[in-house]
Structure 1
Amino acid sequence: MDTYEVILAFQPELDEEIRKATLEKLESIISDGKGKIEDLNQLGMRKFAYEVKKAKEGFFVLASFQTEPSQISRIREFLNSDEVIVRAMLTKQRIPVKGEKDGQSEQSAVDRASHQRT
């Protein structure tokens, strides 16, 4: 199983119960695929950098979950079809390889050091 993160922006005027029901449906889709939600953070109301579907702000939720890669298309389909979700971004979490620090390999650090400008 791979680990993914999804950040959801809900309609700003949405009732908390509807938002909760949508998150429960997402959790159900993930668990149907033998996955599980590891972490769910409600980030609250935030302003968009630009207008999205005529909204200037949205209620943001960040979820981290594990699932099989074969389930991602089903999850994306749900995220794109649910009208209460203004915007969603789904990413795969990268697991650092031994010898990497902050997403960069030790070799990259050597390459940068040997190519410094004077």
Structure 2
Amino acid sequence: MHSYEVTLVFQPESNEEARKATLEKLESIILDGKGRIEDLNQIGMRKFAYEIQKAKEGFFVLARFQIESSQISRIREFLNSDEGVVRTMLTKQRISPRRKRDGQSEQGAVHRASHQGT
């Protein structure tokens, strides 16, 4: 499984019930695809730098989840078909090899330091 992050921007006039229905459907697609949701953060209303579909602001939601890459097309298709969603940005999260090495070297340093006194 791979980690993904999606930012959804809802139309400013969308109500809480409509947003909730969209997020529940997104969750259903992820769970049906044998994935899991790690985090869902409703950021709230934010102003745009420029107008998008004649709107100057939108309601932002950020979701992090894990799923097989073969299921991503279903998620994209659903989000693109939802009329309440103005914009989406779906990104695959990558763990850099450098971060992995740094974490391993820290663990090794702690292990070596704890055994130097013996």
User: Normalised by the shorter chain, which TM-score bucket?
Assistant: 0.7 to 0.9
TM-score with structure 2 setting the length: 0.82
Task: Quote the Cα distance in structure 2 between the aligned partners of 1:21 and 1:99.
Answer: 42
Structure 1 unaligned blocks of 5 or more: 102-118
TM-score with structure 1 setting the length: 0.82
Partner in structure 2 of residue 89 of structure 1: 89
Task: Quote the Cα distance in structure 1 between the aligned partners of 2:11 and 2:93.
Answer: 26
Moved over 2 A (4+): 98-101
Partner in structure 1 of residue 49 of structure 2: 49
Say yes or no: does 1:99 pair with 2:101.
yes
The DSSP-based 3-state class of the residue aligned with 1:22 is helix
Name whichever structure is richer in helix by fraction. 2
- Identical columns (%): 77
Task: Quote the Cα distance in structure 1 between the aligned partners of 2:60 and 2:80.
Answer: 16
Say yes or no: does 1:76 pair with 2:76.
yes
Larger radius of gyration: 2
The Cα shift of 1:96 comes to 2.4
Task: Quote the Cα distance in structure 1 between the aligned partners of 2:36 and 2:89.
Answer: 18
Task: Quote the Cα distance in structure 2 between the aligned partners of 1:84 and 1:37.
Answer: 21
Partner in structure 1 of residue 14 of structure 2: 14
The Cα shift of 1:100 comes to 5.7
1:42-90 CA distances to partner (integer Å, 9 max, x unpaired)? 1000011111111110000000000000001110001111000000000
Task: Quote the Cα distance in structure 2 between the aligned partners of 1:11 and 1:31.
Answer: 26
Pick closer, same or farther for the CA change 1:100–1:73 going to 2, 3 Å: farther
Partner in structure 2 of residue 25 of structure 1: 25
